[in-house]
Amino acid sequence: MKKFFVALFCFFYGSSLLAVSEESIKAAYLERFTMFIQWPKPIESYTICVYDDDSFAQTLQKSYSSRLFNNHPLKVIPLKVGTPSEEMIKCHILYFRGSKPHQNEALLNTLRKNNVLMISDDDDDVKRGAMIGFYLQNNSFRFLINQRNLENADLSVSYKLLNFATVIEPTGGSK
Amino acid sequence: MRVICTSIASQMTRSLVITSLFIIVFGTIFLSWYNINHEKESYLHESQLQADLVVDLVTAPLAFFDVQGISTNINPLRKNSHVLLAVVYSADQTPLTSFNPHHRPIPQLNLPLGTRYDNTGWFPWDVEKLSTTLEIKQNSQLLGYLYIERKTDRITSFVMDLVKSVTIFSFGLLLFVYMVSRMLSKKILQPILTLTEAAKEVAQNNNYSLRVTHDKDDEIAYLYDAFNHLLSDTESLTTHLESRVASRTQELQDSLETLKKAQLQLVESEKMAALGNLVSGVAHEVNTPLGNAITGGSIIVRETQQLLRQIEEGTLKKSFMEQKLNILNETADLLLKSVNQAANLIRSFKRISVDQSVEDKQTFNLYEYLEEILLTFHNKLKKIPVTVHIEGDTKLVIKSYPGVYAQIISNFIQNSLLHGFNESTLDATITIRFQIDENNLILTYADNGAGMDEKIKKTAFEPFTTTKRNAGGTGLGLNIVYNLITQKLLGKIILNSETQKGASFTLTLPLEQSVSGEHLQA
């Protein structure tokens, strides 16, 4: 774990991107998100659904096979394209890696009602329904947060995270 | 005249100023101590709050490994000129980024956690720096540490400002107290000072007609009234004092005269009593030899008549004649002895009585004179009986007043007979001892009679002190003795006595007064 973080910091200090993989960075980011976001119900173990990227799902599961994910066990569920929404509502985090299901209002409502944190690799998704979207800036991964979407899903986010991230205003702008 | 060195007003001012000084000093120390500690606590709390804020700001960048973000978020510290050094460490205590305007070496992480003053000295302002070490945690996961070092010049500056303010305030307060105390002491003490001046005037010039006035209605007014009343009384007393003194003096002189007369009468009575005793003694002593002489004369007459009758009858025989002549011879011898004894007695009595009446100094043998005095008490001493011992140089001749000695010894013997002994006394003894000690004649008279208790001893030489007034005591005997010794012989007398252990009188009589050198013989 320590080596992992040292590697991450080396990366941020300008080392090669090759030193640490994008998957590793995002896997770490997912855990860090859970530190700053609170679900309305107590969590005994985290369930992360990875949509359309089995490889990442395996990597993520492998990363936390011998250690806890934010002090809790982690279960990673890879989702295929076309997985019905009933499967999706079992997840605490739904991470869209590749393609995405059509985000119609009914699906979004179902997911919000079940307090599912939606994270996407496409930062434009935060304007549609996702709460967090990654983007690359100056060779570093950054993320957008849609505070309204988080509130709609009854998810509480720490002001510390809001202060650090780029937050999409309800009107659609960012700060 | 008493000189006032420190006035009441000065004392009052000094007391108030000193008291205020104490209060100010202790109050200042306490308040300074309190304020400095409070300032330190405040600075510490403020620093803690700022550190907490920085921790909040850097938590997310640290969580997402954004060193640039961490560096940006410690910006609030850059605006604070007191910050010497701020370092953010990773969870494994590796320094990640720092704010180091003074280029201080980045220290190893300084645990324990919290905010505290380093190198605190004895005084509350004696601190070197303030350091804060905080954990950066999110959701109970340790992400790193924040370490901040601050200057403490704010505390020093506060202390300096405080000292300046306190000094100025203290001096101002002291000045104010001084002025107020001067004003108050003047206001309160002025009436007393006025009274003091009036008292001084009265004491210096005896001006009892002086009066002090006031327009108040308080304790001072009461004091003024009392002073005026006292002056009034004193004036009244002074005015009538001379006539009262003259009147009292006259009364005292009259009383003294009366007392002197009474004393003289009593002394005369005592003398007459002593003379009566003397005459009685003389009569008694002379009676015996005269009786013997009468008896002898009668025998001579009777024997002579027998001889004459036988001569006339012509029956006288030689043997009868010889017998009667022997009787006549013995009787005539007895008669002569008796008459000589009577003549000796009369001579002694005459000498004593003459000595008592003549006040001139005479030269006499002390031992023989004491024996002659004892002769006058022969019968009285024999009656109890009392053995008298005279111990001393039988050849000592002194020049003094023999009558005084006779009076002194007579009084001692009469006291012994009247008070010391009675008929049941066994082995009654009087001892008269005398010797020369340097230039003094030490004469001791002692008996082994009843003695005196402490109460009688204390008043023995005072006039009219007696325990036998009903039995003929006048209470003047020892007083006369005391006066004769101290005034006539210029000596001293010491009385020693205990109940049932007899009484003794030790007389110390200066020889310069009582004996001349040519007559002093060993």
Please report, for chain A, the start and end positions of each structural domain, with discontinuous segments joined by +. 23-168
Q: What is the pLDDT of residue B521?
A: 35
In this prediction, residue B271 has a pLDDT band, given cuts at 50, 70 and 90, of low
- Contact call for A12 and B92, based on CB within 8 A: no
- A38 → chain B, closest CA residue: B139
A4, pLDDT greater than 70: no
Band (pLDDT 50/70/90 cuts) for residue B394 is very high
Among chain A residues, the shortest Cα distance to B56 is held by A160
CA distance B220 to B218: 5
**What 8-state DSSP symbol labels residue B112?**
S
Q: What is the pLDDT of residue B515?
A: 44
Find the range with the poorest average confidence among A150-164, B109-123, B179-193. Answer: B109-123
B333: which strand partners? none
At B18, which amino acid appears?
A: I
Q: Answer whether B104's CB lies under 8 Å from B148's CB.
A: no
Closest chain A CA to residue B55: A160
Cα–Cα distance, B103 to B89 (Å, whole number): 17
Q: What is the pLDDT of residue B76?
A: 75
Residues of A in contact with B75 (CB under 8 A): none
Maximum CA extent, chain B = 198
Q: What is the pLDDT of residues B61-104, one digit of tens each?
A: 999 988 888 988 887 788 888 888 999 999 998 999 999 888 88
pLDDT score for A14: 41
Q: Which of the residues A119, A160, A163, A167 would you substitute to probe the B interface, choosing the one with the greatest number of B C-beta atoms within 10 Å?
A: A160
pLDDT at B522: 30
Q: Which of A25-29, B189-193, B232-236, B374-378 has the highest mean pLDDT?
A: A25-29
Calculate the CA A75 to chain-centre distance.
14
Quick one: how far is CA B144 from the chain centroid?
A: 88
- In chain B, pLDDT over 90 holds for what percent of residues? 21
What are the distances in angstroms from CA B174 to CA A51, B16, B100, B163, B180? 85, 10, 49, 16, 10
Which residue in the set A11, A34, A160 is minimally distant from B59, CB to CB?
A160
For residue A18, the model assigns a pLDDT of 43
User: Omega into B112 within 30° of 0, i.e. cis?
Assistant: yes
Helix runs in B1-107, H state only: 8-63, 67-73, 75-78
Alpha-carbon B296 to chain mean position: 76
pLDDT at B153: 82
Structure confidence at residue B121 (pLDDT)? 67
Residue B440 identity (one-letter amino acid) = N
Q: What is the pLDDT of residue B193?
A: 82
Nearest to B422 by CA among B444, B445, B448: B448
Query: Domain-by-domain residue ranges, chain B?
Result: 8-176, 358-522
Question: Given this model, what pLDDT does residue B82 score?
Answer: 86
Eight-class DSSP state of B107: P
Q: How far is CA B430 from the centre of its chain?
A: 42
Question: Pick from B66, B48, B46: which is nearest to B143 by CA?
Answer: B66
Residue type for position B381? L
C-beta atoms of A12 and B94 within 8 A? no
Residue A50 has a pLDDT of 93
**β-bridge pairing A93-96 and B492-497:** unpaired
pLDDT tens track for B211-223: 888 877 888 888 8
Distance from CA of A146 to the nearest CA of B (A): 17
Rounded to the nearest integer, the mean pLDDT of chain B is 84
Q: What is the mean pLDDT of residues B110-120?
A: 77
Query: Cα dist. A8→A35, B90, B445 in Å?
Result: 18, 12, 135
pLDDT recorded at residue A15: 40
Query: Is residue A69 predicted with pLDDT exceeding 60?
Result: yes
A77 touches chain B (CB under 8 A): no
Pairwise pLDDT comparison (A6 vs B371), residue with the higher score: B371
Under 8 Å CB-to-CB from B418, ≥6 apart: which residues? B468, B471, B472, B473
**Smallest Cα distance from A92 to chain B, Å:** 17
Mean pLDDT confidence for B113-127: 74
Question: What is the per-residue pLDDT for B354?
Answer: 57
Chain B CB contacts of A8 below 8 Å: 65
Residue B17: pLDDT band with limits 50, 70, 90: confident
A155: left (phi over 0), alpha (psi -120 to 50) or beta: beta
Residue B389: band (very low, low, confident or very high) from pLDDT cuts 50, 70, 90: very high
Closest approach of B42 to chain A, Cα-based (Å): 26
Q: Chain A residues with CB inside 8 Å of B67's CB?
A: 9, 12-13
Q: pLDDT at residue A20 above 80?
A: no
Q: How far is CA B349 from CA A67, B279, B369, in A?
A: 153, 9, 11
> For residue B276, what pLDDT is reported?
72
- Quick check: A36 and B60 CB within 8 A? yes
Residue B124 has pLDDT above 70, yes or no: no
Query: How far apart are alpha carbons B10 and B112 in whole angstroms?
Result: 61
Whether A160 sits inside 8 A of B96 (CB atoms) is no
H/E element holding B145? strand B141-151
Question: Nearest C-alpha of chain B: how many angstroms from A16?
Answer: 15
Identify the residue with better confidence: B126 or B365: B365
pLDDT at B503: 92
Nearest C-alpha neighbor of B162 from the set B28, B56, B40, B260: B28
Asked if A70's CB is within 8 angstroms of B65's CB, the reply is no
| Dihedral angle computed from the Cα positions of residues A150, A156, A158 and A164, in that order, rounded to the nearest 10 degrees | 0
**Which option is the CATH number for B8-176: 3.40.50.2300, 3.30.450.20, 3.30.470.20, 2.40.10.340?**
3.30.450.20
Provide the pLDDT confidence category of residue A13 given band limits of 50, 70 and 90: very low
Tens-place pLDDT, residues B461-511: 876 666 665 555 556 678 888 888 988 888 999 999 888 889 999 999 987
Average pLDDT over residues B274-295: 77
ipTM of the complex: 0.85
Q: Chains A, B: CB contacts under 8 A, how many?
A: 57
- Confidence band of B519 (pLDDT split at 50, 70, 90): very low
> For domain B358-522, which architecture applies?
2-Layer Sandwich (3.30)
- Looking at CA atoms only, how far is residue B73 from chain A in angstroms? 9
Q: Kindly state whether A3 is in contact with chain B, defined as any CB-CB distance less than 8 angstroms.
A: no
Alpha-carbon span B467 to B452, nearest angstrom: 10
Nearest CA in chain B to A30: B64
Q: For B377, how many CA atoms within 13 A lie in the half-sphere containing its CB? A: 24
Task: Give residues 127 to 156 of A whose Cβ lies within 8 Å of B.
Answer: 140
- For testing contact with chain A, the best of B64, B67, B141 (most A CBs within 10 A): B64
In B, which residues are within 8 Å of A72 by CB distance? none
Q: What is the DSSP letter of B3?
A: -
Pick the CATH number of A23-168 from 1.10.287, 3.40.50, 2.70.98, 3.90.660: 3.40.50
**Which residue in chain A has the smallest CA separation from B61?**
A164
- pLDDT band of residue A160 (cuts 50, 70, 90) is very high
pLDDT, mean of residues B235-242: 82
- B contact set with A (CB within 8 A): 56-57, 59-61, 63-69, 90-92, 94, 96, 138-141
> CB B477: neighbour CB atoms within 10 A?
26
How many degrees, rounded to 5, is the angle at CA B275 between CA B269 and CA B277? 105
* pLDDT score recorded for residue B469: 55
